[in-house]
Structure 1
Amino acid sequence: MDVTKVRFRLGNDYSCAQVTKVEVVDGKSLSEIDLINIQRLAQRVVDLSKFKSRLQEYLQNKMSDIAPNLTTLIGEVLCACLISHVGSLTNLAMCPASTLQILGAEKALFSYPLQLALKTRGNTPKYGLIFNSSFIGRASRRNKGRMACYLAKKCSFASRIDCFSGSKNPTFGKEFLLQFEEKLEFYETEDDPQKVAIDIESSNDPEKEPVLNVMNTVVSSMSLDYPPEKLNVYLSDDAGSPITLCAIKAAALFAKSWIPFCRKHKLMTCSPELYFDILKTDQPKQGNEFLAEEKEIKEKYNVLKEQVENAGRNRIPPTKDRPSHIEIIHDDDEMNVICDDLTNMPRLVYVAREKRHDQPHHYKAGALNALLRVSGVMSNSPYILVLDCDMYCNDPSSARQAMCFHLDTMITKSLAFVQFPQRFYKLSKNDIYDSQIRRAFKKLWQGMDGIQGPVLSGTGFYLKRRALYGGLTQEKDINLYQLKANFGSSNKLLSSLQQGVNSNVLSNKDQLHEAQVSDPWFIWFVIYFTGGICHHLFDVFSTGESLNVWWNEMRMGWIKCVTCNLFGCLDAIMNIIGIKKRELKLTNKAVDKDELEKYKKGNFELQGEKIFLVPLVILVLLNIVSFIGGIVRVVTQGSFDEMFGQVFLSFFISILNYPIIKEMVTRKKNATA
């Protein structure tokens, strides 16, 4: 060792002491061969370092060219390991997120400890190769499994984009990276990322649903009283029609004038159709400036209607085989447009999912799943508003109201969605079809608040995205002690329901017993019958409705039992035994003028599916014949006690269905004329 160099580097007394130790320690001086070997070893280390740098640069360039989004998300080394493990990028893209999460842990999956863990319900492997990601290392021990699951989902998205898009732009990878950083921060600090961002999703079929109504739904959802940068509106065109694409572009152009008009004058009706044609509830200041702006907006809306109608004349039949089509119609961020508070607009996206004639597409459920995937990639907002294409946002403050519930720290952990009841317009005073569904929205759902709240109505609900992930909240072998934990304050009710199911069954002899009018026990049948009617009547009056509503609900309840329930059971049985495939037929939303006039006059329309009319007409005629035959038997045989119940029931059903009898007679006269 060179003592001079040691002294020069260390200096002072401390260095001298060190040198003294070096001189005292026993050893052997280095020979020339040893120095040559040390120099060769050092040169080898330098060469390996340069080779590593070249290899890393090559791998980075190669992975950025093959899988740019996946490389941006997890790095080139882990990306190469995943692709090498499965064989190709295509194989990796075909792997679901659950498989991708445990790639590399195959030995642990099929080992004896795993079988033992499955039997004893112990811990199973949660990650494989993706454990090497820095994200998993940054997560705390209790959150590593969650982050591995979330990272696997994003890797699955990124690999499919890289494999099938043909683009080398890592935009989605950067977006996934930001989302993952937010998710990691959320799990570590319990601070919700993008806390009030909302995705608005709607689906339609232009063959059955008027395109103009769909555009009103889109414009009304974009006009919500909510920060526009936190709103993202997605429209699913399940038919892939160019009419809808053309119409949504025209609607986005009209929204640039309509949204500032609503915000400036604080309109409560944010649907153009309702504002101009139907409702006149908004009464803003009737100044000259307002009237001039209103006239200008109405002219632009008429132009929109004309464009939609012209596009509808050139109908192109939908194809059963088509690729997916996703187009951003409007986005202020991508356009680099600086807008003020009045002119700023939400992001608007058009989605037409891929369809193949030999692949099941699952109708509306498939459309909503496609919207969830697209919104998860583009915005990934923690809350989702789902709207049917014929539903308008009649209250622009509904989003803020829903967020008050979702952000309440007392209930947010147990809250999955906030359901808004539906309100219907164009209803006649004599609503013969019970179109407002009063009993469900005004009575039943409010009573369900103690048993986990109402069920989803399919539209008008603000859903927490995290509620879509996870298993069932109810197990098969649940006992009464677990009811309170699973159902809150409803355990007593559900316990009574279970005990009620185990009640004794009456024998056939007891079931066939018929009480006569002169029998003193007949009074209990009268009390039961009148009690049910009076309870329903009180139910209607308590919600502020009239006697006509009660009578119409009675009639429609009977009709639904005869038609909907009957054919629903038959359809379910045929699906189970394989005679008929399950399918979804959309209701035609187009309004016929003749049908609308009949509805306003309180007349039934029997132009629907004939198969549904057969049991309805047969039972009505059967009750008329039974009533006449019962009267004849009472007069001729004097069997009033025995026949009173049957005659009264036939008479009640005949009177209840008088509008149907009237329509049958009218159609018969028109046919003979």
Structure 2
Amino acid sequence: MENRIDSTVEMGEITKEIRDQHKGFSEWNSKVTKQDHQPIVKIMIDGRDKNAVDIYGGRLPMLVYMAREKRPQWPHNFKAGAMNTLIRVSSEISNAPFILNLDCDMYVNDADTIQEALCFFLDEKRGHEISFVQFSQNYDNITKNDLYGCTLSVINNVELPGIDGYGATPYCGSGCFHRRESLCGKIYSKDYTKERNIEDKNNTNKTVNELEVASKILASYNFEKETQWGGKMGLIYGCSSEDFITGLAIQCRGWKSHYYNPNRKAFLGVAPITLNDVLIQQKRWSEGMFQIFLSKYCPFIYGHGKIKLGAQMGYCIYLLWVPFSLPTLYYVIVPPLCLLHGISMFPQVKSLWFLPFAYVIVARNACSIAEALSCGDTLKAWWNWQQMWVIRWTTAHFFAFINTVVRQLGLSETTFAITGKVVTEDVLKRYEQEIIEFGSSTIMFTIIATLAMLNFFSLIGGIKKIVLDLELKVLDQLILQLSLNLLLVMLNIPVYQALFIRNDKGRIPSSILFKSIVLASLACLMPII
């Protein structure tokens, strides 16, 4: 298959032999492009056919290939647009009451998952309230110490179960079972019964060709144009975090959601294995969530009186990732520069005001370590998460903040950046050895390297000032800043290694090394008033 695909791409056309073998290719003519084509729907396996069996004789389900209509002059609304088209086409073919949403890079890890999800929907006491059941997000390519902090184990095992207690688990975009009615805009009411009346479309009596023709109409742009799809029906348009905003809208219509994290993971996917891909993914997620906070769908406004206060606050933990980048940048830049110039920012050790700072530092880290270890993480994994926390908040989330502000001013439109998942053998080898993959000259890496060099220069300068003064008073005034600066330098050890020691392709390029030294030096030479 790979060879046939490569040869087809090289020739720029599909051979007559393949066209004759697969009738679906007949619609892909020379005028069709990725962003300009008619709706295409082909039923590859007809589950009603008794001959549609696997090698063990088991019946195969219906398999449908769909490509929704796309035109350059029409907005296609990214993933949300694709999901809404799938919802409509599936209603024509099966109209099943429940829908599983699963990303293409994830697979089912437990054969009992569907039965377990149905237990929530069909529960006699609360099942009729449930709109969707969200399973935890897990990956099968995580290293022992979770190099990039992608498992989000504390979120999966502590935070989301807590939000679930308010009946408002967020919809996370994949690994989620939906009740079709709620996803299509139905408002929950107390007199809603579990006995769902499914409209009989006699689809079982339709031929494959009739189903395909009817489905193409539903996959066309004109069918959706000037309707409630993307607003009150289906996934909501206009936000790159269409999952979060859609889940919130469903809950505000009276429905409940449930979070389920079984011991045997229901679904497994592929986490990004380069730092650049991690940051692109984080930027997309955080930017979309901050858009929600600034829109009419802000949980404190849109959800007021509709969902509980605890649920509103739970949502905002994630919706406010982006603005947290500003205080993070402050602590990474200002205290080190003040240390370099001998300016005290924190109370002296002998002052009673020192105790609140010491308490917050000790309590925060002790609680964080306890949570990580209780969730099965190693101490090294916790440390890796601290490194990624600083890197993500000073780069991906900061750029997401800038992009969101620019978009709110009407100077740009929503874009959708795809996270890369295809890697070379040497990149995979370094990932398995838990070596951070830099290897490109993006502006994010320039910021990472510059901040690392700034903290290194400040630490050397601060130690020099304390040693030369030989006064205990100076050390007493600067001990907190010195400790913070030392911690930041320790967190940046992988960055220093990538700048000065490593020789592999995943190191930080020399051009960034030069720029970071110049920029950090200029920052250190600037006077601080």
TM-score by length of structure 1 reads: 0.47
| Gap change, CA 1:587 and 1:342, over 3 Å in 2 | same
Question: In structure 1, how many angstroms separate the alpha carbons of the residues matched to 2:311 and 2:420?
Answer: 42
Q: Could you say which residue in structure 1 is the equivalent of 2:416? A: 584
Q: What is the match of residue 7 of structure 2?
A: none
Quote the residue 2:86 is aligned against: 371
| Offset at residue 658 of structure 1 (A) | 1.0
Confirm or deny: 8 A CA contact 1:484 1:490 kept in the other structure: no
**1:661 alignment partner in structure 2:** 496
2:122–2:128 contact (8 Å) kept in structure 1: no
1:449 aligns with 2:281: no
Alignment match, 1:151: none
For the 8 Å contact 2:52–2:60, the answer to whether it is kept is no
2:351 counterpart letter in structure 1? D
1:575-622 deviation per Cα after TM superposition (whole angstroms, max 9, x unaligned): 122332211011111132111111122211112561211221111111
Partner of 2:39: 324
Q: Does 1:352 align with 2:184?
A: no
1:544 matched to 2:376: yes
Q: Name the residue aligned to 1:571.
A: 403
C-alpha distance after superposition, 1:11-62 (max 9, x if no partner): xxxxxxxxxxxxxxxxxxxxxxxxxxxxxxxxxxxxxxxxxxxxxxxxxxxx
Q: Deviations over 1:283-324 (max 9, x none)?
A: xxxxxxxxxxxxxxxxxxxxxxxxxxxxxxxxx995321111
Long gaps (5+) in structure 1: 1-209, 213-240, 251-315, 498-511
Contact kept? 1:430, 1:600, Cα under 8 Å: no
SS in 1 for 2:107: coil
In structure 2, the residue corresponding to 1:332 is in which secondary structure? coil
**Correspondence for 1:520:** 352
Give percent identity, aligned residues only. Answer: 28
* 2:114 pairs with 1:399: yes
CA contact (8 A) 1:327 1:351 kept: yes
Match of 2:486? 651
Give the alignment of 1:290-439 within 5 angstroms: 318-333=33-48, 335=49, 337=51, 342-439=57-154
**AA in 1 matched with 2:347:** A
Q: What is the CA–CA distance in structure 1 between the aligned matches of 2:170 and 2:312, rounded to whole Å?
A: 20
Distance 2:80 2:101 in 1: 12
1:374 partner amino acid: V
- SS of equivalent residue, structure 1 residue 436: coil
Counterpart Cα distance in 2 of 1:603 and 1:579: 39
Equivalent residues of 2:163, 2:169 under 8 A apart: yes
The 3 A distance-change label for structure 1 pair 416 and 609 is farther
Distance 1:435 1:605 in 2: 14
User: Are the equivalent residues in 2 in contact too, given 1:603–1:663 (CA < 8 A)?
Assistant: no
Report the Cα offset of residue 523 of structure 1: 2.0
Report the Cα distance in structure 1 between the residues aligned to 2:365 and 2:98, rounded to whole angstroms. 42
Q: Is the 8 Å Cα contact of residues 154 and 375 (structure 2) preserved in structure 1? A: no
C-alpha spacing 1:414/1:665, structure 2 compared with 1 (3 Å): same
Q: Which has the larger radius of gyration?
A: 1
Is the Cα contact below 8 Å between 2:391 and 2:448 reproduced in 1?
yes
The count of residues paired between Structure 1 and Structure 2 equals 350
SS of corresponding position for 2:182: helix
Write the distance in 2 (CA, Å) between the matches of 1:345 and 1:455.
33
Pair 1:566–1:656, CA change in 2 (3 A): same
What residue identity is the alignment partner of 1:646? Q
Unaligned runs of 5+ in 2: 5-12, 23-30, 187-231, 233-248, 254-295, 318-343, 511-529
The residue number in structure 1 matching 2:447 is 615
Change (3 A) 1:578 1:485: closer
Does the C-alpha gap of structure 1 residues 538 and 517 become closer, same or farther in structure 2, counting only changes over 3 Å? same
Q: Are residues 608 and 387 of structure 1, via their aligned partners in 2, closer, same or farther at CA, if it must alter by over 3 Å?
A: farther
Q: Aligned with 1:584: secondary structure? A: coil
Return the alpha-carbon distance in structure 2 between the equivalents of residues 587 and 578 of structure 1: 25
1:432 and 1:493 mapped to 2: Cα distance? Answer: 29
Superposition deviation, residue 537 in structure 1:
0.4
Q: Please give the per-residue CA displacement for 1:354-400, whole angstroms capped at 9, x wherever unaligned.
A: 11112111111111111111111111111100010100000111000
Structure number with the higher helix fraction is 1
Contact 1:448/1:454 (<8 A) preserved: yes
Q: CA deviation at 1:426?
A: 2.5
Greater relative contact order, per chain length (Cα 8 Å cut-off, separation 6+): 2
What's the TM-score, normalizing by structure 2? 0.59
1:71-470 equivalences under 5 Å are 318-333=33-48, 335=49, 337=51, 342-468=57-183, 469-470=185-186
